[in-house]
Amino acid sequence: MIKLKQLISEASLSTDNTFRQLVKGWEGPGPIVNGMHVAYDDAKPNVATNSKSPIQGTLTIGYGTTKTVYPELKPGMKISAKKAEELLTKGIVEHEAKARRLVKKFDSYPAYVRQAILNAVYRGDLGPKTAEAINSGQWSKVSGMYLNHPNYKNPGKFPGVVKRMKSNAEAFDKYALELTAGGSKQSTNKTTKTTTTSTSTDSIVGKTIYPKPGPGYVNIRETPVVDNGIFDDNQSGVVRYPNAIGVVRKVTKGQDSKTWYFVKLATGGFGYVRSNVVKTTNSKYHVVKPGETLIQIAKDNGLRLDDLQGVNQNSLNDIYPGQKIRLK
């Protein structure tokens, strides 16, 4: 038991300077006065608190340290740079312990995956469904589930949360793709047999695909088969025209010898779609004019706002004159 604890301690990300710098970058140091870190309200991260300050968010000090890690924390408190580093170490270790409780094989994953999981635990946005998907090995679903979180959809006064969560989701997607790429050329289970073709000669690989106008939607599948005989639970989602499905990463032949695409989905995660119900398209763009809004642009081009966001892979948080927006 002592040796196990020692091994876990040695593997801790608290000693990984890259991860420490990552946390510092996301959390920020808070206000510093005369070289001392001063307690602050994370709703106003650049404003030092005092004993009479009303706290609207969470009382914090140093690099994201709260009372959970530092029970002595009070408004107006000051700590040295050394103490801030010590509390950062303590915080990482305590969040790692929580990550191990949530994710059974936490220590077995590559460093970049552990960093993303721990970063998500730090933010408090690693939900139970995401943890369940990780624990059951359903990595193609992880990023999509992770981003289906209130912190991502409604960041409020913390727009940096979206960037941070996207970074974690990209790490989850990278690992999902590595697992797929690392599999055998031919894989068989009780419902389907697939053969993966070489991606170097497939012109479709790397391209964004869309549903064909008729019937106007595409079912996303967990495996390249239409019906696995279990109440169609192989279906994991639907993408409707004209929204982008995502980017093709591999071309696969299913048991029926039909061609399927393994796609990095625009909404996060991965899935399979049949090749005969999708298309690539020559994109149509609109250049934003001064004073225009997304709602106005969508209406003028006969689109719903959700469709416009979907075609642009939900990247239109802010628009500016001269920006090119994809219409289809």
Angle, helix 17-27 to helix 81-102, in steps of 10 degrees: 100
CA torsion sign for 313, 315, 320, 323 is negative
Do residue 204 and residue 257 come from a single domain?
A: yes
* Spatial contact of 122 and 115, defined as CB atoms under 8 Å apart: no
Could you tell me whether strands 59-61 and 65-66 are parallel, antiparallel, or unpaired per DSSP bridges? antiparallel
Q: At 58, list the tokens.
A: 């969470």
Do residue 109 and residue 176 come from a single domain?
A: yes
Summarised one tens digit per residue, pLDDT across range 56-106 is: 889 999 999 999 999 999 999 999 999 999 999 999 999 999 999 999 999
Burial class, 64, CB count within 10 angstroms (exposed 0-12 / middle 13-18 / buried 19+): buried
Do residue 214 and residue 265 come from a single domain?
A: yes
What is the C-alpha to C-alpha distance for residues 89 and 91, in angstroms, rounded to an integer? Answer: 5
Do residue 272 and residue 205 come from a single domain?
A: yes
Could you tell me whether strands 186-188 and 40-41 are parallel, antiparallel, or unpaired per DSSP bridges? unpaired
Domain of 290: which CATH number? 3.10.350.10
Tell me which of 46, 65, 94 is where a domain ends: 94
Query: Is residue 5 in a domain?
Result: no
Place of tokens 């039909």: 258
Do residue 86 and residue 19 come from a single domain?
A: yes
Do residue 143 and residue 217 come from a single domain?
A: no
Q: How many structural domains compose the chain?
A: 4
Note the pLDDT of residue 36: 95
Query: Is residue 314 in a domain?
Result: yes
Do residue 88 and residue 131 come from a single domain?
A: no
Tell me which of 76, 94, 112 is where a domain ends: 94
Query: Is residue 2 in a domain?
Result: no
Query: Is residue 7 in a domain?
Result: no
Domain of 255: which CATH number? 2.30.30.40
Tell me which of 62, 94, 126 is where a domain ends: 94
What domain range is 80 assigned to? Answer: 12-94
CA torsion sign for 99, 105, 108, 110 is negative
Do residue 271 and residue 289 come from a single domain?
A: no
What is the C-alpha to C-alpha distance for residues 306 and 304, in angstroms, rounded to an integer? Answer: 5
Do residue 271 and residue 294 come from a single domain?
A: no
Query: Is residue 90 in a domain?
Result: yes
Range scoring the smallest mean pLDDT among 117-131, 224-238, 247-261: 224-238
Query: Is residue 234 in a domain?
Result: yes
Q: At 196, list the tokens.
A: 């993966």
Query: Is residue 1 in a domain?
Result: no
Summarised one tens digit per residue, pLDDT across range 239-272 is: 887 788 988 888 888 767 789 898 988 888 888 8
Do residue 267 and residue 290 come from a single domain?
A: no
* Spatial contact of 69 and 94, defined as CB atoms under 8 Å apart: yes
What is the C-alpha to C-alpha distance for residues 292 and 297, in angstroms, rounded to an integer? Answer: 7
Query: Is residue 111 in a domain?
Result: yes
Checking if the pLDDT of 202 tops 80, the result is: no
Q: What is the mean pLDDT of residues 178-185?
A: 61
Return the number of other C-beta atoms located less than 10 Å from residue 264's C-beta: 21
Summarised one tens digit per residue, pLDDT across range 288-302 is: 888 888 888 888 877
Do residue 234 and residue 315 come from a single domain?
A: no
DSSP state of 197: P
Do residue 201 and residue 244 come from a single domain?
A: yes
